[in-house]
Every structure is written in C-alpha cells, then in structure tokens.
A and B are shown apart, each in its own frame.
Chain A
C-alpha cells in the first residue's frame, strides 16, 4: 500500500532547513572524538560479526571468554555498572566468537634419535640444539577484552563517573591483575578514588604504583592526582 504524506508547512520547512544548516561541531570536539574512534578501530578488527561461527577448535576458548564476558556483564557490581555500555548489541558477544585465536604452543622440533649402534659413551651422544620454546601468545580476544574494560573505566572517569570507573577497574583487576594495561588501570583507579574522596587509599595505591611502574607513561597523572 502506498501512503502519501501531507507536505510540510512553509514555517516548518524553514525551521527544519535551519536545523539542517546547524554549524559543524567544534574542531576540538571532532578531534577528540576521532582520536577515540581511531583507538577503537586500532584495537578491534572490522566486521567481526561477518565470520561468526567459530571453528570447533576455537569453540572452547570462545566459550571461556564468553563466560568471562558474562561475568563482566552480569556478575557483581562491576559487571552491573558496565552492563549499560557492554550490553550494546553485537559489540561484545559476537566479536568474541570470531577474534578468539586459540593459543598454539610452539614446540621446537627436536630431531628424533637415529637408531644407531649402542652409544660409545654419553659424551659422544649427539646433542639437540638448546632452543627454548617461545612463550605462547596471549589470545587476541583476551587482549581486546582487557582493553575494552580499561576503555570503559577511562570513559567513565572522563565523564566524571568515578564509581563506575572504579567498578570497571575492579573488574579488570579481578580478570587481569597483571594485564598489559595494569598500569593504566591503576592510574584510573587512583584518580577515581581521589574523586570519590578516598584520598588515603589513593595515596597508598599511588605509592605502590610508583614502586611497581616507575617508568609508566601514567606516572605524572598518578603523582598529580595523589598530591
């Protein structure tokens, strides 16, 4: 069925023309926003929902991370606080299925001993090269999950929502106590503690921060907050 709409009155047309002609947002706002978006795009692959349907091999890992996410979303105060942002469709659930990369333990092949006559002596036995297997890589989904939680904390702090930032930091601490972004988490938590008036706790945590992360990029922020 085709429906027709009445034409808008001239007054409304002019008003909506004026609204369409709204000046662009200030440059500093656009710059700040594009920086945040660029960071997100750098951390998350595009269109991850496209290849949904993890392989059987990845299913276990995906399920594990899915549980972590479920805990993040619904478990505890931190999860509850984060829910509003993480519950946004597709952002969390579907990407986990795809970006999980099952860590593969790299085994350096050692040449199988060739059957030989009984060894003459132990000292003469051929030695395999002493190559230490590299550390297995952390699953990418874990890194992105970690980054996501820190982003939630940072975003909440930027909006002045210190309690929300602290909840996200607690969630990060619970899941990634020594994660790649542990120093950033601590810097956010310290600033959030100051905001909620817990200065002694912030000072204690700042002291521990300086001892543990003396070369952190966030040290100036921490020192400034703790003063």
Chain B
C-alpha cells in the first residue's frame, strides 16, 4: 500500500474540518464536545497516517476513525444536547428566508431522529444514507461483516423513518 504523504495531509486536512464537525455531531456528540472530538479525529488520523491509502477517498477513512473515537467516549450525548442553536444561527447567517428556516427545522428533526438510534446503527445510517459511502467500504471502515452492516442499516432506516415522520407531523407548517 503506498503510504500517505504527511505534508500532503497537513495541507489538505482543512477541507474536511467542517465535514468532520458535522459527522461527529451526526454520530451524537454533544455541542460542547464536538470540537474536542474533531480534534481527536484529526490527531488520530495524523498518527495513523500509515494506515491510509492515498488512492482511496479520505472521508470514509476519517469516518471510521470518528466512529471509533465516539464509541470510546463515555460522554456521548443524546437528545437535545446534540443540537447547537448558536452554531446553527451563526452558520445560517443574518438573512433567514423561509426556505432556510425550513431547512434548519428539517435538519433539526434529522438530528433528533438520529438520536433514537444505537450508535452502531446510527453510524451505518449516517455513513451510507447521509454520506453516501458504499456499504461495503463502510463495513470495512467500521469493521463489521457486510451482512451485519445491511441488517443494521435496515433497522436504522425503520427507526429513523418512524421517528422522523412523527417529528415532521408535529412540526409547525
């Protein structure tokens, strides 16, 4: 396996910063810990750079690292802790047309519905259905058999859909 170039990584990792922050949030890390966890993801990636093949996309590899770090943290938050209204407001900018608001409500419901999933199912759902990573690659990065990955994803979808639809039904129109 060709080894990754540390200099290339050091100059390229910034393009994944926001994505990693979003990913750890989707995996259930509370707002107060997202930066720390994202830092841990990149620190670990840097230290394990020898395990990365530059011929493959970086994000699935980072996703696997993020999943393991989140799994190891006892302090993974759930529920409303996942949400960060301040960050949402700042990221949305000053102008907040209706479609932006609607998008934020939908995203808020997505995160809440994700909170109802066990981490193993959640990771499959986030990795496959949100990040659109092929399931075989995802199974490899998450170190689960392919059939297990399919089973978990199916369960995750069922639970997610039920929760999400009930949240949407209760949302103001």
Contact = CB atoms under 8 A, between A and B. Distances in A.
Given A21-B103, A30-B18, A89-B68, A44 B161 contact: no
B72 A89 contact: yes
B90 interface: yes
Contacts of B138: none
B69 interface: yes
Interface string A49-85: 1100000000000000000000000000000000011
B161 A46 contact: no
A123 interface: no
Contacts of B90: 26
B22 to A, nearest CB: 6
Contacts of A91: 43-44, 47
A34 B43 contact: no
A132 interface: no
Given A5-B135, A19-B130, 4 more contacts: A33-B21, A37-B42, A47-B46, A89-B68
Interface of B: 3-4, 6, 9-10, 13-14, 17-18, 21-22, 26, 32-33, 35-36, 38-40, 42-44, 46-51, 68-69, 72-75, 87, 90-93, 103, 106-107, 109-111, 129-130, 135, 146-147, 150, 153-154, 157, 160-161, 164-165, 168
